[in-house]
């Protein structure tokens, strides 16, 4: 079978074809993704919603090249990711993807700016780490260690780290989950601006359905399956969203 997918539409950045993912937890097998097929279009803000255990994070990890599917195929710009070597996957994560983790995943003994530098040091054309922190409103906390930052601040460092390398694809796992209402909205605004300004493709997973209002498209997940794919004709500006 050809590694190229010729019939992919022009604006598709990433395609999932009948993707399965099974985890073995001790003696139990868990099917976290079940025959998921989905196109992620360039420069869209895609929100995936679903209750916990619905397979949101699993899909995000597969898309980000952090995990490999048990069955099915993934394509990035028409190139089959599932055929990539570890080195190619590493290169993909390094050059094309930015991650915002649910639990921030900051390196505890590095300061905020150093945590951003962890990403920029690898990147070919990164932002200045301090600029990235300024964008998330944390310039004055640059020299604080994670333990000295609040949850919201840590999340913003995590976002700064993700955007600092100017990725094509930004993957956010519950980016507002640990934040208060106002900070959450600011973070959302940041993401929308990023999409508007740089054309970054953004995938956000959340169980906060209100956020879906700002999305171009919304994917509903349950038990590892897509139950509904919704197109948002008029996305709301983040300021108008209430939760």
| Stretch of residues binding other proteins (CB under 8 A), selected from 116-124, 183-191, 197-205, 215-223 | 116-124
101 interacts with other proteins by CB under 8 A: yes
94 interacts with other proteins by CB under 8 A: yes
Residue 3 φ/ψ, nearest 5 degrees: -80, -15
C-alpha count within 13 angstroms, C-beta hemisphere, residue 36: 37
**Residue 151 to residues 20, 44, 57, 123, 237: CA-CA distances in angstroms?**
33, 27, 20, 26, 24
Can you spell out the DSSP letters for 11-29? TEEEEEEEEEEEEEETTEE
Instruction: Report in angstroms how near the CB of residue 1 gets to other proteins at its nearest.
Output: 24
| Stretch of residues binding other proteins (CB under 8 A), selected from 9-17, 88-96, 136-144, 200-208 | 88-96
| Stretch of residues binding other proteins (CB under 8 A), selected from 1-9, 73-81, 82-90, 182-190 | 82-90
Contacts (CB under 8 A) with other proteins, residues 1-30: 25-26
Q: Return the residue of 45, 46, 74, 117 that touches other proteins, per CB under 8 A.
A: 117
Other beta carbons within 10 angstroms of residue 205's beta carbon come to 27
- Tokens at residue 195, please? 């999409």
- Decide: 63 and 2 in contact? Cβ < 8 Å: no
C-alpha count within 13 angstroms, C-beta hemisphere, residue 160: 29
131 interacts with other proteins by CB under 8 A: no
31 interacts with other proteins by CB under 8 A: no
- By CB under 8 A, name the binding residues for other proteins: 25-26, 61, 64, 66-68, 86-87, 90-91, 93-95, 97, 99, 101, 103, 105, 107-110, 114, 117-119, 121-123, 161
């Amino acid at each position: 079978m050809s590694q190229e997918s010729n019939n992919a539409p022009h604006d598709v950045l990433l395609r999932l074809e009948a993707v399965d993912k099974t985890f073995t937890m001790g003696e139990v097998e868990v099917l976290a993704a079940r025959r998921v097929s989905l196109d992620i279009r360039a420069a869209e803000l895609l929100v995936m919603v679903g209750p916990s255990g619905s397979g949101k994070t699993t899909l995000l990890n597969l898309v980000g090249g952090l995990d490999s599917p048990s069955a099915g195929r993934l394509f990035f710009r028409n190139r089959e990711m599932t055929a990539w070597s570890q080195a190619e996957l590493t290169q993909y994560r390094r050059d094309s993807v930015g991650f915002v983790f649910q639990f921030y995943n900051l390196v505890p003994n590095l300061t905020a700016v150093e945590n951003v530098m962890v990403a920029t040091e690898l990147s070919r054309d990164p932002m200045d780490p301090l600029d990235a922190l300024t964008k998330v409103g944390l310039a004055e906390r640059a020299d604080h260690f994670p333990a000295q930052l609040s949850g919201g601040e840590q999340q913003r460092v995590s976002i700064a780290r993700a955007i600092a390398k100017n990725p094509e694809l930004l993957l956010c796992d519950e980016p507002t989950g640990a934040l208060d209402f106002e900070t959450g909205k600011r973070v959302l605004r940041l993401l929308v601006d990023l999409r508007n300004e740089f054309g970054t493709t953004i995938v956000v997973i959340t169980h906060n359905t209100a956020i879906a209002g700002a999305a171009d498209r919304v994917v509903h997940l349950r038990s590892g399956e897509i139950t509904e794919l919704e197109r948002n004709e008029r996305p709301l500006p983040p300021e108008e969203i209430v939760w």
